Amino acid sequence: MSGVDFQPYKRATVLRRLRRRMALHRIDRLDAYASLLRTSSDEAQLLHRDLLIRVTRFFRDPDSFETLRTVVFPEITRERGADSPIRIWVSGCASGEEAYSVAISLLDFLGDRASAVPIQIFATDVSDAAIDHARNGLYPAAIENDVPADLLRRFFTRSDGSYRVAKAVRDVCVFARQDLTRDPPFSHLDLVLCRNVLIYMTPPLQRRLLGLFHYALNPTGFLVLGHAETVGPHADLFRIAHKRNRVYVKKSIAAPPPPRFAIEAPAAPAAPARLPRSRAAQRPDSIQGDADRILLARYAPAGVIVDADFQIVHFRGQTGPYLEPPPGEPSLAVLKMARDGLFAGLRSALQAARKTLQPVRREGIRVKTDGSWREVTVDVTPLSSREPPHFLVTFEEAGSAAPASGASAAQPRPAEGAADAPLDERRVAKLQEEIAASRDYLQSIIQELEAANEELQSANEEILSSNEELQSTNEELDTAKEELQSTNEELSTVNEELQARNAELSRVNSDLVNLLASVEIAIVIVASDLRIRRFTPMAERVLNLIPSDIGRSIAHIKPNIDCPDLERLIGDVIERVTPQEREVQDHQGAWYSLRIRPYKSLDNRIEGAVLSLFDVDAAKRHEQYAQTVVETVREPIALLDRELRVRIVNDAFCEAFGMRREDLEGHLLFDMEEPLFAAPALRDALAERALRGERVEDLEIALPPRGGAPRTLLVNARRIDATPTRLAPAVLLAVEDVSARGSRR
């Protein structure tokens, strides 16, 4: 098995590839296909290869490589020396084309400096076969369509109709098998390319891999993704360097998410004994730092550090009198945590500091804490060392707290004897009432703005959700595009193979057509359903066929021969796989030898029959002539074939041995129960002498008595050689009974 866990891969993609394999095997149910996988390691390997969709070529998306030359390479090659190598990771490199393309582009960009700057390109893939192919560095001549001519000439060598990557390029590339879902990454990288890999992963795995890439990159390293891929929810880890070609730069964040690897941790060693620190280790600056921290904690004002979005990233001191957790969902937005009365002044100070990047101070802000109002001074100081900017917000008491009771605390009113108070006091009270009213009005406006802001936030979240759905759809479309391209490449390969096979079949067909056209024998090939498939030109005349009869059943043809049971004979041959042979005449009286044999395919299946008709008219007429001659001779004469089977006998031969003609003709001579035929001398004379061309003359054979006196037979035999009218040699046997004459020696 491959050892690759495909569970984190997108379910739709995995199912599509599964269904493709199931369709090839004509399997409808997943459980049936699972059974096949358990019993067939070959099918498991083929499925593994199908799931790893390898769609790649040299300089794929040329615009992206141009962006590397103009945006990325100038940054990662700046101030590089022999002790500072350029480290690049090409993840999901497939068969190596992309890794070699990056190496060629970088070497071409560096030019003469290439020999002075060390380059390390790590190319990884989960497929061992792909890695082996990449290490070999041998590619077909078709790469001429993808690689510019000047780069092809400089960075490739021609090898037996293919191209091999030059050694200078192969030396900077290191290929290794790696499973992104479980293996640790490389580190201290200047550039990570992971194009069209994340589209096959589920969102949780995508987020994890983006965190892994962030961990692997140098502080100013670059990340390049595919056109359908984005950093998505990890926008806090990367900023956009080139939007259209998906080039990102690593952000330096305070606490990056630690990557998690599927590696079993070794057993923890025993904790070393803690050694007492020597006096030399207790440095004066450490003591001074401890003292500073104590003084800051005791006397420094309370405060927080916020980022550019006014999100709290650090608390300093006791901020409880000024900030409190808001109701509802937890939030670290400092403005949402501001206590009553603090919001307006704090927001004003923060916005002014963010706009001017200068310290801002707000005094006399009244804050309600534990039922009491107190005046607070708020200082907002930009931290110039941070990018993007951060701000230190401190809260300092401006006076003692005054007790507050209900509404009277928030809106001080004159006492019941205000009418008798001095005029100045009444004016102060009036102004306080106006201020309280203005504060209430302002508070209502703020609440309305907050409500509107929450609605906008909700709308923004919906837009983000829709954007994620569109992104997911885009990834699915890009995945489908990759699969279609992979299928198209497979179909192109299959098409080339089919074209080669078709050319071969065309040659074989041409050979067969020319062979059939040149054969002076009537041959007809029929299928299992007795439909005519092919026939020779001679068959057109003998069987009364025309070219349009191809595809018709031979039962619908009226052949030019007398064979009414032809259809039955063909059926018997196909069913019983037994050849048939008989002699037939055409309507003009010419004789043919009809032979029907089964048609066998390469895998030994019976797929029809082959009919052949040999012209034996001359031989037949010669045989009839011989029959006539033999019949006119008074002595016993028989004509034997080369197997010593009786072909023709005359009446004298039948009378001499007391046998019927049908018991003799067509039977082997030595299989018949006749003393002469069993005589060893006769067998030797015919088989060893006559068939070899030696004449047998006056061979005298004495036979035991058969119901009377003993008999003496005189045997003569000679071979008759084959001629154009006789297809095989024959033996002429003559027998004479000389018992009455006595023995002749």
Q: Tens of pLDDT along 223-280?
A: 999 888 888 767 778 889 998 899 999 987 644 455 555 444 443 343 443 444 444 4
Using a CB cutoff of 8 Å and minimum separation of 24, what contacts does 551-557 make? 553/529, 554/524, 554/526, 554/530, 555/530, 557/532
Q: Cα–chain-centroid distance for residue 20?
A: 10
Residue 387 has a pLDDT of 67
List the single range of 36-40, 287-291, 684-688 with lowest mean pLDDT: 287-291
Mean pLDDT on 183-198: 90
Q: How far is the CA of 238 from the CAs of 48, 71, 181, 386, 463, in angstroms?
A: 33, 16, 21, 16, 21
Distance in angstroms (rounded) separating the CA atoms of residues 379 and 353: 10
Residue 590 has a pLDDT of 87
523 near 539, Cβ under 8 Å? yes
Residue 109 has a pLDDT of 93
Predicted confidence band at 744 (pLDDT cuts at 50, 70, 90)? very low
* Alpha-carbon torsion (429, 433, 435, 439), positive or negative: positive
637 near 649, Cβ under 8 Å? yes
Query: Is the pLDDT score of 204 beyond 70?
Result: yes
Residue 7 has a pLDDT of 67
Residue 14: helix, strand or coil by DSSP? helix
Of residues 624 and 696, more confidence is placed in: 696
What's the chain's average pLDDT?
Answer: 81
Q: Which residues, including other chains, have CB under 8 Å from residue 150's CB and lie 6 or more apart?
A: none
Predicted confidence band at 464 (pLDDT cuts at 50, 70, 90)? low
- Please, where in the chain does CATH 3.40.50.150 lie? 62-250
Residue 276 has a pLDDT of 44
Distance in angstroms (rounded) separating the CA atoms of residues 71 and 76: 9
Residue 521 has a pLDDT of 87
Predicted confidence band at 469 (pLDDT cuts at 50, 70, 90)? low
Query: Is the pLDDT score of 461 beyond 70?
Result: no
Which class would CATH give 519-615?
alpha beta
* First and final C-alpha spacing in the chain: 91
400 near 374, Cβ under 8 Å? yes
What is the CATH code of the structural domain delimited by 630-737? Answer: 3.30.450.20
Q: Which residues, including other chains, have CB under 8 Å from residue 105's CB and lie 6 or more apart?
A: 59, 65, 68, 69, 73
Comparing CA positions, the residue from 205, 172, 191 lying closest to residue 96 is 172
CATH fold label, 298-410: Beta-Lactamase (3.30.450)
Could you tell me which residues are beta bridge partners of residue 193?
A: 90, 224
Distance in angstroms (rounded) separating the CA atoms of residues 241 and 248: 5
Predicted confidence band at 472 (pLDDT cuts at 50, 70, 90)? low
pTM score of the predicted model: 0.46
Query: Is the pLDDT score of 281 beyond 50?
Result: no
Joined together, the tokens standing for residue 698 give 């006056």
Predicted confidence band at 561 (pLDDT cuts at 50, 70, 90)? confident
CATH fold label, 62-250: Rossmann fold (3.40.50)
CA-derived radius of gyration, the chain: 53
Predicted confidence band at 199 (pLDDT cuts at 50, 70, 90)? confident
For 681, the enclosing helix (H) or strand (E) is helix 680-684
- Please, where in the chain does CATH 3.30.450.20 lie? 298-410, 519-615, 630-737
pLDDT tens by residue, 562-603: 888 888 999 999 998 889 888 888 888 888 889 999 999 888
Residue 730 has a pLDDT of 81
